[in-house]
Amino acid sequence: MSTPQHSHSVFDFHGRPPLARALPLSFQHILAMIMGTVTVPIIVVGAAGGSLADQMLLIQVSLIASALATLVQLYGVGRFGARLPTIFGVGFAYVPTLVAVGAQYGIGGILGAQVVGGIAMILVGLFITRIRHLFPPIVAGVVVLVIGLSLYDIAIHYMSGGVGASDYGDPQNWLVALVTLGVVLGVSQFARGFMKLAAIICGIGAGYALALALGMVDITPVREAGWFSAPRLLPHELEFHAAAILSVVIICVVNSVQTIGDLSATSVGGMNREPTTRELFGGLLGNGATTAVGSFFGAMPTSSYSQNVGIVAMTKVVSRFVLALAALFLLVAGLVPKFGAVMTTIPYPVLGGATITVFGMITMTGIQLITRDEMSARNMTIASLALALSMGVYAVPEAIGQLPAMLQLVVGGSPIVVAALVAFTLNLVLPRRSLPDEAAEREALARAMAEEEPTGRRAQRAEGGRPS
């Protein structure tokens, strides 16, 4: 009798499919997240006033950190790692906070605060067994739902050509994006077998070919990148500033809630079950460790990648071997910059057209998580208020323009923060009433109202008459 370790199925976490089948599925994950991994250090270095050398260094180290963080989560190192089919890397959720900290304290201030932030993540993980009940499906589901909704503008910006692009909104960009999207939809809905699982890579291939024919592909990054570069310890001196540490610790703790949500979405969407406490414990510890240790080499903080969660939920491919190939590619790309630079030549419209369906899948996974809890008035209040406040503040950031700068930094930076805080708080303070409790309460209220009604009117209603 074969054991799971001998399985060749892509739908088995321990499965090890043939390389020819695993590589295209792995490539989808690479293409979904590599632009985010590269873009975050570019944005942060620009805000911190760093040099081009700083930018190239942070890109390189971020790729390596993403690879190692993913491998730790897939295979585990002792108690560290979720051992779930998930991709971790430098996350967009940190960008607003890192930009604000970097503008005031520079790259050294970011990295110093990040060490403490990583330790805060580890502490959350250590106490997860005691606080797991504070993150039921209604809380985790709201966070996942808001993650999906908050990514839509990124996809649309990509489809339009990328924020700040001189040809932003050009019809040619939309043509490429829609062709890419059409191929993804066509293959995912009408293809059969293995081809159906590779819908995203098919769409990216078609979109890239069209973009190449239209002269939209720039290979300059490939020519300028070097062949080999190794990371070095402490490329920047770590600086510790109280305000920077507070801001980064808060976003790291909130990101831990996002990690719980993403791990829940991964296991629910890909494995049809909720994650165990041990898996959440290992996931948070692993993420905290890679974030803290990465600071000493200049890497940005890591987090779970929601777009890759969407791919797992969409394809049901959970083989860790498939995802490990993506991590190994990132490791090679970090050590051989010219190799990784090839990925950066993919035009934004191609990425936008390919990933918007993935972001939509994340949203639906969040809804699926929410509905795992009963839809009582209490839970509907938690979900509706968290959704309304988070997306409302996100849509109208000037509404909090008079608040203290620190509060603006925390609340206005990401709707995920607001959603997590509101859902978490309401889940603690609202009285716990199940659907049967609410039904019994309505029945009791109806009886009380009937008893308070005048006797004559009650008898007249029983006879079917109307009061004069």
Q: Which of 24-28, 104-108, 167-171 has the highest mean pLDDT?
A: 167-171
Q: What is the dihedral of CA 5, 11, 13, 19, to 10 degrees?
A: 70
How many whole angstroms separate alpha carbon 362 and alpha carbon 355? 11
Per-residue b/e over 373-386, b at no fewer than 16 CB within 10 Å? beebebbeebbebb
pLDDT computed for residue 21 by the predictor: 84
Model pLDDT for residues 4-20, shown as the tens digit of each residue: 456 788 888 888 888 88
Model pLDDT for residues 350-406, shown as the tens digit of each residue: 888 987 887 787 788 788 888 888 888 889 999 999 999 988 888 888 888 888 776
Q: What percent of the chain has pLDDT over 90?
A: 18
The DSSP symbol for 190 reads: H
pLDDT computed for residue 450 by the predictor: 78
Model pLDDT for residues 96-123, shown as the tens digit of each residue: 678 778 877 888 888 999 999 999 999 9
User: CA torsion sign, 451 to 454 to 456 to 458?
Assistant: negative
Q: Which of 86-100, 130-144, 323-337 has the highest mean pLDDT?
A: 323-337
pLDDT computed for residue 2 by the predictor: 45
The DSSP symbol for 274 reads: P
CA 28 → CA 207, 208, 264, 308, 315, distances in Å? 14, 14, 21, 9, 11
Q: Which residues pair with 89 in a beta bridge?
A: 303
pLDDT at residue 44 above 60? yes
Cβ partners under 8 Å of residue 380, min gap 6: none
pLDDT computed for residue 1 by the predictor: 42
pLDDT mean across residues, the chain: 82
Residue of 449 and 194 predicted with greater confidence: 449
pLDDT computed for residue 385 by the predictor: 94
Q: Which residues pair with 304 in a beta bridge?
A: 88
How many whole angstroms separate alpha carbon 106 and alpha carbon 244? 10
pLDDT computed for residue 420 by the predictor: 81
What's the whole-model pTM score?
Answer: 0.70
Residue of 241 and 416 predicted with greater confidence: 241
Residue of 30 and 198 predicted with greater confidence: 30
- Average the pLDDT over 414-441 and give the result: 83
Q: Which of 32-36, 251-255, 290-294, 436-440 has the highest mean pLDDT?
A: 290-294
How many whole angstroms separate alpha carbon 450 and alpha carbon 461? 11
pLDDT computed for residue 293 by the predictor: 93
pLDDT computed for residue 3 by the predictor: 45
Give the Cβ contact number of residue 388 at 10 Å. 13
Cβ partners under 8 Å of residue 232, min gap 6: 297
- Burial label, 315 (beta-carbon count in 10 A; 0-12, 13-18, 19+): buried
- Asked if residues 246 and 357 have their Cβ atoms less than 8 Å apart, the reply is no
Take residue 303 and report the two structure tokens written for it. 């987090």
Q: What φ, ψ does residue 302 adopt, rounded to 5°?
A: -100, 160
pLDDT at residue 413 above 70? no
The DSSP symbol for 302 reads: E
Model pLDDT for residues 190-225, shown as the tens digit of each residue: 887 667 767 777 888 899 999 999 988 888 877 777
Residue of 462 and 398 predicted with greater confidence: 398
Q: Which residues pair with 88 in a beta bridge?
A: 304
Q: How confident is the model at residue 460 (pLDDT cuts 50, 70, 90)?
A: low
